[in-house]
A and B are shown apart, each in its own frame.
Chain A
Amino acid sequence: MTVVGNSVMGDLSSQLRVALHRVQDWTYPDQLDHDTFQAYMKTPHDVGGEPDAPALFEDKEEEEWELNTFVTCEVLGWRGIWTSEERRRIGNVDLGRTNYLGLPYYGRWLWAIARCLVDKRHITLGELIERVSEVRKRYAEGSGGPIDAAPRMTGNIDGVARNRHHLDAIGMGDPQCFAGTAGAPSFSVGDAVVVRELPTIFYTRTQEYLRGASGTIAKVSYESLAPEDEAFDREDQQAEWFYIVRFRMADLWEAYTGCATDTLQAEISERWLQPAV
């Protein structure tokens, strides 16, 4: 029997909205105001605080390909092909809002592998297209047997371009491998800070719902590359301090419906913080 735990989410009539559909799907520069531009530039992974209806929280059985995909992503990090932050940028942001919300969770991880391997010139897009077609044919007549990878050869692991990080961090861990490289932290526990309202371009891990908010430093965390650098494989950049910042819920959300004492904490890189005046 099909499990229909979230039947309320499929009630389309209650979700009907007045739609303003523009037939003209080319926009002239003078027709985009700042707010609309920001909406287009918002990184789709940044969903905190977006309105949504209650849904039944479900469990899910894991597909074999989902576990394989997860493991491939992690092994690519282990062997220095990418860092997990590059994976997050490609699979959670670069693919755009429609695909972000429309593809399954691990479908996006898979998309990120493909994109990374092509972008970093480990494979050509032609090779990928041919192989996908070949694998599909292998199973087309029901003669493929159990589904599994069957590499034609074991490649030469030397001569593959890899990052420094997967070797530099051995025995230390990450972020410990960046310790001592960012100088003195600018903030201490108890300091009042404001999250800067920097523009969003391509990637960040500073949530939109925190920008402009005042909070208090709860912990001086560690030194690390900023996500904006790490996500683009910029190992040459300077590490910086990170802080766990505590915010009052009532300062983050208008008409917060919980209690006045409720709080939220998030971990922010130094470039995003300034002293409260």
Chain B
Amino acid sequence: MAETDLGASGHDTHQHAGTAPMVEEVTDFEVLEIALRELAIEKGLFTAEDHRRYTEHVEQLEPAAGSRFVAKAWLDPEFRRLALDDAIAASREMGVDWLHPTGFGTPSDFTAFELLEDTPTVHHVIVCTLCSCYPRPMLGMSPEWYRTPNYRRRIVRWPRQVLAEFGLYLSEDVEVRVEDSNSKHRFMVLPVRPDGTEGWSEEQLAEIVTRDCLIGVALPKPGVTSDAVRPLHPAIRPVTSD
């Protein structure tokens, strides 16, 4: 990982590759980030260990938890009832504790979680018009597009057009219900289990519940196990997995 080839890294428009050991130029954001973290630790606001532990917590979050949650709700009527009644308790039952890692939850996600139950005539989609509120404990970090003013401006006013841009065309007998998660509740969509999945295991079902289905900009389909591929804006020095 230490040796990098600029030409093959996919970052050839930049001066640096992702894991270059020697840094020739730092960005203003990197400088400010380091300066603030150093000062905060030196002043005793938090410790380097706090920062490391929280980073570990963030790095293990992924949308797979949400996929399993939905698959389980499709298969187990009792779990489904619990999930709709008390989604925090249902999360705990499947191993996601919203009180982690601080004992009172993550500061930005709070501990109020609600499942939005789709029916053949109601389709939910989530947004936060004011910032980017998103159920991180269930889905991990939000996708970039979810945070853009563009998505936030338009989905609450032209939802059918925006959903169509995601490839989701809804008929007129389906009510579109946009959930603007502007306060402490975090939301996730419980889609309708699609036809053609009879007899499937929880693992099989979880595979077709992609992150976009849980936001509500896609519907689960047999055979579709990943979100639509979008252009990826590369990082100068991306987060490394090690």
Knowing A145-B23, A221-B185 are in contact, say whether A173-B44 is a contact too (CB < 8 A). Answer: no
Q: Is B76 an interface position by the 8 A CB rule?
A: no
Chain B residues with Cβ below 8 Å from A128 are: 35-36, 39
Knowing A74-B107, A142-B24, A259-B172 are in contact, say whether A57-B239 is a contact too (CB < 8 A). Answer: no
CB distance from A207 to the nearest CB of B (A): 6
Which of B103, B144, B148 makes the CB contact (< 8 A) with A170?
Answer: B103
- Interface residues in B194-238 (C-beta closer than 8 Å to A): 230-238
Q: Is the CB of B143 within 8 A of A59?
A: yes
- Interface residues in B47-69 (C-beta closer than 8 Å to A): 47-48, 50-51, 54-55, 58
Bound complex: CA A244 to CA B233 (Å): 36
Q: Is A148 an interface position by the 8 A CB rule?
A: yes
Q: Is the CB of B99 within 8 A of A173?
A: yes
Of A17-25, A29-37, A262-270, the one touching chain B: A262-270
CB distance from B160 to the nearest CB of A (A): 5
Which of B47, B161, B238 makes the CB contact (< 8 A) with A62?
Answer: B238
Bound complex: CA A148 to CA B30 (Å): 9
Q: Is the CB of A47 within 8 A of B149?
A: yes
Knowing A72-B51, A123-B39, A224-B184 are in contact, say whether A62-B141 is a contact too (CB < 8 A). Answer: yes
Q: Is the CB of A65 within 8 A of B150?
A: no
Q: Is A11 an interface position by the 8 A CB rule?
A: no
Chain A residues with Cβ below 8 Å from B41 are: 149, 151, 154-155
Q: Is the CB of B111 within 8 A of A174?
A: yes
- How many residues from A make CB contacts under 8 Å with B? 119
Smallest CB-CB separation from B235: which chain A residue?
Answer: A61
Q: Is the CB of B177 within 8 A of A265?
A: yes
Q: Is the CB of B44 within 8 A of A155?
A: yes
Which of B161, B182, B240 makes the CB contact (< 8 A) with A207?
Answer: B182
Q: Is A212 an interface position by the 8 A CB rule?
A: no
- Interface residues in A35-84 (C-beta closer than 8 Å to B): 45-52, 54-79, 81, 83-84
CB distance from A271 to the nearest CB of B (A): 13
Bound complex: CA A110 to CA B44 (Å): 19
Bound complex: CA A173 to CA B166 (Å): 35
Q: Is the CB of A3 within 8 A of B149?
A: no
- Interface residues in B135-165 (C-beta closer than 8 Å to A): 141, 143-145, 147-154, 156-162, 165
Q: Is B183 an interface position by the 8 A CB rule?
A: yes
Smallest CB-CB separation from A265: which chain B residue?
Answer: B179
Which of B47, B130, B141 makes the CB contact (< 8 A) with A46?
Answer: B130
Which of A76, A147, A150, A256 makes the CB contact (< 8 A) with B23?
Answer: A147
Chain B residues with Cβ below 8 Å from A234 are: none
- Interface residues in A106-159 (C-beta closer than 8 Å to B): 106-107, 110, 113-114, 117, 122-123, 127-128, 131-132, 134-136, 139, 142, 144-159
Bound complex: CA A81 to CA B40 (Å): 10
CB distance from B85 to the nearest CB of A (A): 12
Q: Is the CB of A65 within 8 A of B33?
A: yes
Interface residues of B, Cβ cutoff 8 Å to A: 12-13, 21-27, 29-48, 50-51, 54-55, 58, 88, 98-99, 101-108, 110-112, 114, 129-132, 141, 143-145, 147-154, 156-162, 165-166, 172, 175-185, 230-240
The contact sample of 29 A-B pairs, CB cut-off 8 A, is: A3-B231, A54-B162, A54-B165, A57-B151, A58-B231, A59-B144, A63-B239, A69-B33, A71-B54, A81-B45, A81-B46, A105-B132, A110-B36, A122-B40, A139-B26, A154-B44, A154-B47, A160-B43, A166-B102, A172-B104, A173-B98, A242-B183, A246-B177, A253-B157, A258-B176, A259-B172, A265-B177, A266-B179, A266-B180
- Known A-B contacts: A77-B108, A174-B111, A175-B110. Give 8 more (CB < 8 A): A1-B13, A55-B148, A76-B40, A132-B32, A135-B38, A146-B21, A154-B47, A259-B175
Shortest beta-carbon contacts, A-B, top 8: A77-B107, A155-B44, A173-B111, A48-B129, A5-B231, A169-B104, A57-B145, A267-B183
Interface residues of A, Cβ cutoff 8 Å to B: 1-3, 5, 45-52, 54-79, 81, 83-84, 87-88, 92, 101, 104-107, 110, 113-114, 117, 122-123, 127-128, 131-132, 134-136, 139, 142, 144-160, 166, 169-177, 205-207, 209, 219, 221-222, 224, 227, 242, 244, 246, 249, 252-253, 256-259, 261-269
